[in-house]
A and B are shown apart, each in its own frame.
Chain A
Amino acid sequence: MLTVNSIKNGIVIDHIKAGLGIKIFKMLGLDKIDSAVCLLMNVPSEKLGKKDIIKIENVVDIDLTILGILDPNITINVIKDEVIVEKKKFELPERVENVLNCKNPRCVTSIEKYIDHVFYLVDKEKGEYRCMYCDEIYTLSEV
Chain B
Amino acid sequence: MLKGRHLLDPMDFTTSEIDEILELGGEISKNPEKFSKACQGKILATLFYEPSTRTRFSFEAAMLRLGGQVIGFSEPNSSSVAKGESIADTIRTIACYADIAVMRHPKEGAPRVAAMYSSIPVINAGDGGHQHPTQTLTDLLTIKSLKGTLSNLTIGLCGDLKFGRTVHSLIKAMSRYENNKFILISPKELKVPDYIKKEVLEKNNIEFLEVERMEDVIGKLDILYMTRVQRERFFNEEEYLRLKDSYILDKAKLKGAKEDMIILHPLPRVNEIAVEVDEDKRAKYFEQAKYGMFVRMALIMKLLGVEVC
Contacts and interface: CB of A to CB of B under 8 A. Distances in A.
Contact of B110 (A104, A108, A132): A108
- Chain A interface bracket (under 10, 10 to 19, 20 to 34, 35 or more): 10 to 19
B86 A108 contact: no
B23 to A, nearest CB: 29
B109 A108 contact: yes
Interface string B197-237: 00000000000000000000000000000000000000000
Interface residues of B, number: 16
A112 B113 contact: yes
A132 B129 contact: no
B65 interface: no
B113 A107 contact: no
B88 A132 contact: no
The binding surface of chain A is classed by DSSP as: loop
B128 interface: yes
B130 interface: yes
Nearest to B109: A133
B86 A114 contact: yes
Nearest to B195: A137
A107 B109 contact: yes
Given A112-B113, A133-B113, A135-B130, A107 B88 contact: no
A133 B108 contact: yes
A109 B88 contact: no
B191 interface: no
A109 B86 contact: no
A135 B86 contact: no
A108 B128 CA distance: 10
Interface of A: 104, 106-112, 114-115, 131-136
Contact of A133 (B86, B88, B106, B112): B112
Contacts of A110: 107
Nearest to A104: B108
A59 B113 CA distance: 37
A134 B108 contact: yes
Top 10 A-B residue pairs of the complex, sorted by shortest distance between their CB atoms: A133-B109, A134-B108, A108-B109, A108-B107, A108-B110, A134-B109, A106-B108, A106-B128, A107-B108, A108-B113
A112 B298 CA distance: 32
Interface string B80-101: 0000001110000000000000
A15 to B, nearest CB: 33
Given A134-B130, A135-B130, A106 B107 contact: yes
A131 B109 CA distance: 9
Contacts of B106: 106
Given A132-B112, A134-B130, A135-B130, A108 B88 contact: no
B109 A111 contact: no
A114 B109 contact: no
